[in-house]
Amino acid sequence: MIHLRDVTYFYPRATVPALAGLSLDVPAGQFCAVIGANGAGKSTLCYTLAGFVPHFYRGKLTGQVEVAGVDVPAASLAAIAGQVGLVFANPFNQITGARFTVREEIAFGLENLGVPLDEMRARIDDILSFAKLTELAERSPFALSGGQQQRLAIASVLVMRPPLVVLDEPTSQLDPIGSKEVFAVLRDLAATDEATVVLAEQKLEWVAVFADRVIVLHEGRIVADGPPGDVLASGDLTQYGLQPTRYTQAARAALAAGLRRDSAELPVTLEEAVEYFK
């Protein structure tokens, strides 16, 4: 689904690359999480997959970017948009401002796709209920709380059912259980092969539970890549400006205090931690 080869990208006027020789292959149906400190290149990678780099941001892109069979640098943004949906980190960038209600905002993209009217209505009702926006459907998108706006941004992308869903820190303003629910929905989309998912995130607990694969970005490069359990328990994590989950921290502290002597694999999720400390 995604094929990146030696991708290097400079924003206009930048002297250091935001992506530096990055290669990445993501097969269809995978849920791939991207983690890293602020400035590591997560958003830039998301923009590249959705074609905003280079088509909107300009700058200098070299290497190969192929997404869903589309040669991204050569294709038009419209052609890419048919394959890739991007949820921006800031929901304000997502809301068109061209529509008066939440329902119309969600319908916006579907109208452009030419989806028949009753199917459109059914899809919108479904996604409104998933995003807990049903009761707010007739509100102005601007008369919502921060978290409700972020739910709207996610909903208006998912309703289009793009083959590749790219999300840039989409849960930063969501309540805790709401965040977990978004992760679960993304896992289900990927598990049923309805979509391939690339998710930039800080919430490592849910990355650990739900993602198939985790890549760590650092200064525009991939410095770790593998199953969540391996990547998130690694001692290198802090070196890349990331903090392991409290479960991993507690296990390390228990080892240091002599409470555990064996070298069992360190836990990254609650379930693993219960097993570890039992």
Partner 1 sequence: MKNAQRPTPNATPAGPMPITVEDVSFTYPSGTHALRGVSLRIAPGEAMAIVGENGAGKTTLVKHLNGLLKPSQGRVLVGDWDTREHSVAKTAARVGYVFQNPDDQIVERTVGDEVGFGPKQLGRTEAERAADVAAALALVELSDYAKTHPYDLTTAQRKLVTLASVLAMRTPILIFDEPTMGQDARGLALIGGIVERLKGEGRTVLTITHDIDFCAAHFGRVVVMADGQVLADGAAADVLARAELLATTNVEPPQLVRLAQALRLPRAALTVDGFVETLQGSRGAGGQG
Ligand X SMILES: Nc1ncnc2c1ncn2[C@@H]1O[C@H](COP(=O)(O)OP(=O)(O)O)[C@@H](O)[C@H]1O
Ligand Y SMILES: Nc1ncnc2c1ncn2[C@@H]1O[C@H](COP(=O)(O)OP(=O)(O)OP(=O)(O)O)[C@@H](O)[C@H]1O
Give the ranges where the chain is alpha helix by DSSP (H).
42-49, 52-55, 77-81, 102-113, 117-130, 146-158, 176-191, 204-210, 228-233, 246-256, 270-277
**CB-based closest residue to ligand Y:** 147
Burial degree of 156 (CB within 10 A; 0-12, 13-18, 19+): buried
Enter the tokens of residue 159. Answer: 């309703």
Which is closer to ligand X, CB of 47 or CB of 247? 47
Q: Which of 14, 77, 113, 143 binds ligand Y (CB under 6 A)?
A: 143
Enter the tokens of residue 22. Answer: 């990055």
Of the candidate spans 54-62, 71-79, 138-146, 245-253, the one that interacts with ligand Y by CB under 6 A turns out to be: 138-146
Distances (CA, A) of 62 to 73, 81, 98: 9, 21, 35
Which is closer to ligand Y, CB of 76 or CB of 145? 145
Closest CA to 230 of 213, 249, 254, 253: 213
Which residues does 269 contact at the CB level (< 8 Å), separation at least 6? Answer: 205, 208, 209, 245, 247
Q: State the minimum distance, in angstroms, from the CB of residue 221 to partner 1.
A: 17
Q: State the minimum distance, in angstroms, from the CB of residue 242 to ligand X.
A: 11
> How far is it, in rounded angstroms, from Cα 249 to Cα 237?
12
Q: State the minimum distance, in angstroms, from the CB of residue 204 to partner 1.
A: 10
Q: Going residue by residue from 154 to 193, which x/- string records binding to ligand Y, judged by CB under 6 A? A: -------------------x--------------------
Q: Which of 6, 14, 134, 243 binds ligand X (CB under 6 A)?
A: 14
Question: Which residues would be at the binding site for Mg ion (CB under 5 A)?
Answer: 42-43, 145-146
Question: Which residues would be at the binding site for partner 1 (CB under 8 A)?
Answer: 36-39, 89-90, 92, 132, 139-140, 143-148, 151, 169, 172-180, 202, 205, 238, 241-243, 245-247, 249-250, 253-254, 257-261, 270, 273-274, 276-278
Q: Check binding of 146 to ligand Y (CB under 6 A).
A: yes
Q: State the minimum distance, in angstroms, from the CB of residue 167 to ligand Y.
A: 18
Which is closer to ligand Y, CB of 41 or CB of 170? 170
> What residues are paired with 2 via a beta bridge?
26, 67
Residues in contact with ligand Y by CB under 6 A are 143-148, 173
